[in-house]
Amino acid sequence: MANLKPAESAWGFYMEVLDCGYPPNVRNFNVLMHKLCKEGKIVDAQMVFDEMGKWGLLPTIVSFNTLINGYCKSGDLKEGFRLKSVIEESGMRPDVFTYSVLINGLCKESRLDDANRLFDEMCDRGLVANDVIFTTLIDGQCKNGRIDLALEIYQQMLKKGVKPDLITYNTLINGLCKIGDLKEVRNLVDEMSTRGLKPDKITYTTLIDGYCKEGDLESALKIRKKMNEEGIKLDNVAFTALISGLCREGRVVDAERTMREMLNAGMKPDDATYTMVMDGFCKKGDVKMGFKLLKEMQTDGHVPGVVTYNVLMNGLCKLGQMKNANMLLDAMLNLGVVPDDITYNILLEGHCKNGNPNHFDKLRSEKGLISDYASYTSLVNEINRTSKDRQRG
């Protein structure tokens, strides 16, 4: 019965069995509801639940919990709480699973105060919270940026003798990395080891991302080395974080090498990652490599946007290659990439610094460009003023 798929087949088969005179069974009704809820068919699950009553069967706490779980996962918390009331009115008591499901639903809707109140109610009724409930509450606080409260719940968890698992630690580490509290992150990693828990791929990836965002590239690279030693492969998030960190430190050759490793591992860098590496090379004056990566992007099926072209435009202008910058503008327009104010200001500054501010004005007229006129007049006036000051000197 439990192996029949899909749920409608199981239901049809069970009805045939009942029609043959076999007595109905609460357990089988529960299995059917579970299947339907798993498939997101909560209306059908409710019909099965109602059918139990027609056969004179009393739903168990498992029956109620299955349906409550289904409603909560479908986003109907109101119906979940209504069923909790029905449990209480029928003389049964909600169990830990009932509370766990409802608390999870409240946390997903960011109703954290309501989740805490429900948690208190559960404890007042003598039910002992497990690691799942504590982790759910911690996760809810972390996702809403309330890390201090998450740590308080964690301490409460320890005081009650509930052992945190790897999911608990990963949740806290992720929350702390998001606010840049690397000191507390290190404390938690040490605590994990003390409790005999070994970091997994999620832990390491979170740490790499957190360290890179806070500018601690060396710590991130140490984590990467540790992953390699343990045979744990980097994922998209870890590769992207490392590439970003390397670019930020000006280690653009290492960043490009890391991107090659990412490609060889079967992962595709996104537009932002390609652009990041291109920007690194352009800032080093290697615009040729920037264009090589542009071609690679296009070959890989990416459609570079204005941000990517602005990076190349800026690189050309800084090298004084204004003719090539103008040609790149033509290429952008031909490809349907609409220049933005940043594009115009890069070109304007390039032409002004290379002694020909009027050339940009000519470009504006020929191409029908609409730029930030205030930026244009301001920069031209500044160039003219500087030029006059030099002549006086």
Query: Would 364 be classed as within a structural domain?
Result: yes
Same domain, 238 and 293: yes
Query: Would 228 be classed as within a structural domain?
Result: yes
Task: Write out the two tokens for 209.
Answer: 């991302």
Nearest alpha carbon to residue 258 among 230, 228, 288: 228
pLDDT at 384: 58
For residue 241, the one-letter residue type is: A
Task: Write out the two tokens for 217.
Answer: 């590239």
For residue 127, the one-letter residue type is: L
Same domain, 84 and 3: yes
Domain final residue pick, 94, 110, 140: 94
CATH value at residue 265: 1.25.40.10
Domain final residue pick, 249, 273, 304: 304
The string over 171-185, giving b where at least 16 C-beta atoms fall within 10 Å of a residue's C-beta and e elsewhere, is: bbbbbbbbeebbebb
Same domain, 339 and 298: no
266 Cβ contact partners less than 8 Å away, ≥ 6 residues apart: none
Same domain, 314 and 375: yes
For residue 339, say if its preceding peptide bond is cis, omega within 30 degrees of 0: no
User: What are the CA-CA distances from residue 189 to residues 96, 186, 192, 229 (Å)?
Assistant: 29, 5, 5, 18
Half-sphere exposure (Cβ direction) of 7: Cα atoms closer than 13 Å: 20
pLDDT at 193: 92
170 Cβ contact partners less than 8 Å away, ≥ 6 residues apart: 200, 202, 203, 206
Neighbours of 144 (CB within 10 A): 14
Query: Would 40 be classed as within a structural domain?
Result: yes
Neighbours of 253 (CB within 10 A): 15
Domain final residue pick, 259, 277, 304: 304
Burial group, residue 191, by CB count within 10 angstroms (0-12, 13-18, 19+): middle
Q: What is the CA radius of gyration of the chain?
A: 31
Same domain, 332 and 369: yes
Same domain, 293 and 313: no
Query: Would 365 be classed as within a structural domain?
Result: yes
Task: Write out the two tokens for 335.
Answer: 């490809």
Nearest alpha carbon to residue 107 among 135, 126, 84: 135
16 Cβ contact partners less than 8 Å away, ≥ 6 residues apart: none
Q: How far apart are CA 234 and CA 238, in angstroms?
A: 6
Query: Would 15 be classed as within a structural domain?
Result: yes
Q: Are 181 and 188 in contact (CB under 8 A)?
A: no
Query: Would 67 be classed as within a structural domain?
Result: yes
Cβ contacts of 291-299, under 8 Å, gap ≥ 24: 293/256, 297/271
Q: How far apart are CA 137 and CA 104, in angstroms?
A: 8
Query: Would 164 be classed as within a structural domain?
Result: no
Same domain, 296 and 317: no
Query: Would 193 be classed as within a structural domain?
Result: no
Same domain, 5 and 77: yes
Same domain, 286 and 269: yes
Q: Are 242 and 224 in contact (CB under 8 A)?
A: yes
Per-residue pLDDT tens listing for the chain (393 residues): 444 444 455 566 556 555 555 567 888 889 889 989 998 999 989 988 998 888 888 999 999 999 999 999 999 999 999 999 999 999 999 999 999 999 999 999 999 999 999 999 999 999 999 999 999 999 999 999 999 999 999 999 999 999 999 999 999 999 999 999 999 999 999 999 999 999 999 999 999 999 999 999 999 999 999 999 999 999 999 999 999 999 999 999 999 999 999 999 999 999 999 999 999 999 999 999 999 999 999 999 999 999 999 999 999 999 999 999 989 999 999 999 998 888 888 888 888 887 776 666 666 655 555 555 555 555 556 555 555 555 555
- Quote the distance between the C-alpha of residue 362 and its chain's center: 45
Q: How far apart are CA 162 and CA 134, in angstroms?
A: 9
What percent helix, strand, coil does the chain show, rounded to 5? 75, 0, 25
Evaluate the CA torsion angle 227, 232, 238, 240 in order and state its sign.
positive
Task: Write out the two tokens for 354.
Answer: 């290379």
Name the DSSP class of 179: T
Q: Helix (H) and strand (E) counts for the chain? A: 22, 0
Same domain, 209 and 299: yes
Q: Domain tally for the chain?
A: 3
Name the DSSP class of 163: P
Same domain, 238 and 266: yes
Same domain, 326 and 288: no
pLDDT at 350: 87
What is the extent of the structural domain holding 296? 204-304
